[in-house]
Amino acid sequence: MCSTYLKWKTSGALKAALLDQLADINGIYVPSLFQIDYHPDGSVRYITSTKQGYEKVVKRYVRNFDAAHFCTSSIVPFMQVIHDRISLEIARGCSRGCRFCMAGMIYRPVRERSVQKILESLKQRLPAPAMKSCHLHR
Ligand code: SF4
């Protein structure tokens, strides 16, 4: 997505060209390339694509979460902050799947990182003295 954007930016082409190119990448939804027709009650009558071959947007997600990129450094301010801590992404999705919850639905399927991967990331991101006092390290 970024390389498509950078190429477009230097090309001087119109925004419509960028949207057209982005639509060629699996998983990207470009709303302006669809026309929605409504019933009088506001419900959707039909949806049509204005770009040939772009009738469906297939959901794209990281399947093997353990093999996915793990952020090894955090952006921090130059001052001591109240919540002096790091964030570790241990899972995507939620195993509970409550029907009212957007996060529980749109981040499906549930994927969890292995304990070993989480500990590896923790070791990379925590300074050594802090790591020694971490109870997970023992
Ligand atoms: S509300 Fe959402 S995040 Fe919370 S348990 Fe239910 S599905 Fe999971």
Query: Could you read off the pLDDT of 24-34 as tens digits, one per residue?
Result: 999 999 999 99
Q: Cα–chain-centroid distance for residue 89? A: 12
- Whether 57 is covered by a domain: the verdict is no
- Tell me, in angstroms, the distance from the centre of ligand 1 to residue 63's CA: 20
- Lowest average pLDDT, out of 18-22, 38-42, 75-79, 112-116, goes to 75-79
Say yes or no: CB of residue 98 within 6 Å of ligand 1. Answer: yes
Domain that holds residue 109: 65-132
pLDDT tens digits, 92-101: 999 888 999 9
What is the token pair recorded at 93? 């999705």
Say yes or no: CB of residue 110 within 6 Å of ligand 1. Answer: no
- Whether 60 is covered by a domain: the verdict is no
Please give the mean pLDDT across all residues of the chain: 89
Residue bearing the CA closest to ligand 1, atom 5: 96
Say yes or no: CB of residue 103 within 6 Å of ligand 1. Answer: yes
- Tell me, in angstroms, the distance from the centre of ligand 1 to residue 39's CA: 33
Same domain flag for 71 and 128:
yes
Same domain flag for 95 and 41:
no
- Whether 137 is covered by a domain: the verdict is no
Same domain flag for 78 and 126:
yes
- Lowest average pLDDT, out of 54-58, 66-70, 89-93, goes to 66-70
State the helix-helix crossing angle for 2-11 and 15-23, rounded to 10 degrees. 150
pLDDT, residue 76, reads 77
Record the pTM.
0.68
- Whether 39 is covered by a domain: the verdict is yes
Same domain flag for 69 and 45:
no
Phi-psi region of 62 (alpha: psi -120 to 50; beta: other; left: phi over 0): beta
- Domain count of the chain? 2
Same domain flag for 78 and 107:
yes
- Whether 98 is covered by a domain: the verdict is yes
Give the mean pLDDT of 90-117.
Answer: 91
